[in-house]
Amino acid sequence: MPYNPLIANAFFRAGLIEAWGRGIYKIISECEMFGVAPPKFNCDFSGFMVEFEAKVEKVSGKTSGKILELMKSNSSITIPELALEIGVTERSIERNIQNLQKEGIIQRIGPAKGGHWEIIIKK
């Protein structure tokens, strides 16, 4: 049951809620899908809190870090788009991608056209 039915109904009508009572299950399944520890849920008189474990990936180089961030937000991003967004040459992007692949941080899934990048989460 929603804590505040009026607010829940407004979110539902705005298309921000898929179905009632699925939020916690969806959070847990998304965490499992990305290999992240499930969050801790706490409910008391002050309210409801969801606590996620911070996971920091250490990557050397400013360009490599920017590449990873852009790949996280758009897994289908191309090398020319990366170069334009970061402000370096395509060759620089290619070198950084090769290094990230050698380190086992990213991998290419599918062909050059129509494929996507996958960031590998090390446990």
Residue 45 lies in a domain: yes
Residue 77 lies in a domain: yes
* Rounded Cα–Cα distance for residues 34 and 11 (Å): 26
Q: State residue 74's pLDDT score.
A: 93
Residue 13 lies in a domain: yes
pLDDT at 123 over 50: no
* Rounded Cα–Cα distance for residues 81 and 21 (Å): 39
**Total count of domains within the chain:** 2
Q: State residue 109's pLDDT score.
A: 92
Residue 115 lies in a domain: yes
**Radius of gyration of the chain, Cα coordinates, nearest whole angstrom:** 19
Residue whose tokens read 């991998």:
107
* Rounded Cα–Cα distance for residues 45 and 3 (Å): 12
**Residue 93 and residue 67 in contact, taking contact as beta carbons nearer than 8 Å:** yes
Q: State residue 79's pLDDT score.
A: 92
C-alpha angle 116/120/123, rounded to 5°?
165
Question: Domain span at residue 113?
Answer: 62-119
**Residue 118 and residue 107 in contact, taking contact as beta carbons nearer than 8 Å:** yes
Q: State residue 81's pLDDT score.
A: 93
Q: Which residues contact 78 (CB under 8 A, 6 or more apart)?
A: none
Q: State residue 5's pLDDT score.
A: 82
50 pLDDT band (50/70/90 cuts)? confident
Q: Over the chain, what is the mean pLDDT?
A: 84
56 pLDDT band (50/70/90 cuts)? low
Model pLDDT for residues 9-19, shown as the tens digit of each residue: 888 888 877 77
**Residue 66 and residue 43 in contact, taking contact as beta carbons nearer than 8 Å:** no
If one compares 54 and 84, the residue with the highest pLDDT of the two is 84
43 pLDDT band (50/70/90 cuts)? confident
Which H/E stretch holds residue 7?
A: helix 5-13
Collapse the DSSP code of 77 into the 3-class scheme (helix H, G, I; strand E, B; otherwise coil) and give the result: coil
Same domain, yes or no: 75 and 114: yes
